[in-house]
Structure 1
Amino acid sequence: MASHRSPSTATRIGLISDTHNLVRPEALRYLDGCDAIIHAGDICNPDVLDALARISPLIAVRGNNDTGDWAASLPTHARLTIQQVTILVVHDIAELGCVPQHDGIRVVVSGHSHKPSIAERDGVLYVNPGSAGPRRFRLPVCAGTLTVEGAQVGATFDSLLT
């Protein structure tokens, strides 16, 4: 599969959440070519992380369904800076624990709800890539991307199933 990298200085970050022990081949194809991957929790099995880490460097947080010794080493929050953009990752947005715009955070990535969404409030981009795991109710099976170029950031999410 061809790389998704453009010749610009943009960094493409794959976003995935709520896999619940299911690594769909469609998700692996979607994330192929990303510079890094963020998993926003509810992984449920370390094999999921192993599969994603074979594609790109991986940042993952623990979700409410991530239990056991393997999950104890995962943080509940992760903060990273890509180019000039600081990203905070948390599974459940209700457990944010800070006021992002006051802490220099430009993007908050979360999961938990299984509902994909992108919203900007007070200069902070809130992104939930939805669930890439087993279908829940009539919600779509999705993953997303962040594209960072300098201090600029954009987000998308896409259905993994047609």
Structure 2
Amino acid sequence: MTSRAQSSPATRIGLISDTHNLVRPEVLQYLAGCDAIIHAGDICNQAVLDALAQIAPVTAVRGNNDIDEPAASLPTHVKLTVQQVTILVAHDIADVGGDPRSEGIDVVVTGHSHKPAISERDGVLFVNPGSAGPRRFKLPISAGLLIVEGAHASATFDSLVT
């Protein structure tokens, strides 16, 4: 008889940034079914967070355009642990100082640039879901997913509006 180790069920975390007062139905549909949502700043309006909270618990940070309450009271950085993965959330990658790995960070989620990107540097996964708000230049309207299984995390992003 063989025994198998029980694996943790995957946690689906929706990644969103730079909504700038706009909650698109395509974004809400994309995030449906997530266990949690991370908003990496430039929210600008409580209605955005309220709409997201109808889907799943929301962790959010303040962006450079979050100057009115209640978004202005959000922290600039948040660190959270999901299963065995530690995630650092900040609006601007320039505000992520030092070596995240030396601080026990496994994943860094940022926004600000409106450019979706996923990369790995020195064992840390860096994710920018891009902008889910108003289109800027010719950049896509996008959001992302972070899948956490035990101590492993993987990310994707998708363009939501053509």
Report if TM-score (shorter chain) is over 0.5.
yes
| Identity rate, percent | 75
Letter in 2 for 1:113: S
Structure 2: gaps spanning 5 or more residues: 1-7
Paired residue secondary structure (1:28): helix
Paired residue secondary structure (1:14): strand
Rounded to whole Å, the distance in 2 between the matches of 1:70 and 1:46 is 7
2:9 aligns with 9
Letter in 2 for 1:151: A
**More off after superposition, 127-136 vs 92-101:** 92-101
Rounded to whole Å, the distance in 2 between the matches of 1:144 and 1:21 is 18
2:158 aligns with 158
**Does the alignment pair 1:104 with 2:104?**
yes
**Does the alignment pair 1:67 with 2:67?**
yes
Please state how far the C-alpha of 1:70 moved relative to its aligned partner: 1.0
- 1:77-128 superposed Cα distances (whole Å, 9 cap, x missing partner): 0000000000000000101134201000000000000000000000000000
**Does the alignment pair 1:115 with 2:115?**
yes
Please state how far the C-alpha of 1:72 moved relative to its aligned partner: 3.0
Structure number with greater Rg is 2
For the aligned residues, what is the CA RMSD?
A: 0.9
Contact 2:44 2:68 in 1 (8 A): no
Rounded to whole Å, the distance in 2 between the matches of 1:151 and 1:101 is 14
Rounded to whole Å, the distance in 1 between the matches of 2:104 and 2:148 is 16
Rounded to whole Å, the distance in 2 between the matches of 1:153 and 1:87 is 10
Letter in 1 for 2:108: V
1:86 aligns with 86
2:20 aligns with 20
Rounded to whole Å, the distance in 2 between the matches of 1:57 and 1:37 is 6
2:46 aligns with 46
Rounded to whole Å, the distance in 2 between the matches of 1:94 and 1:134 is 23
Structure 1: gaps spanning 5 or more residues: 1-7
Rounded to whole Å, the distance in 1 between the matches of 2:87 and 2:71 is 22
1:5 aligns with none
TM-score (norm: length of structure 1) = 0.93
- 1:37-84 superposed Cα distances (whole Å, 9 cap, x missing partner): 000000011110000011100000000000123123201000000000
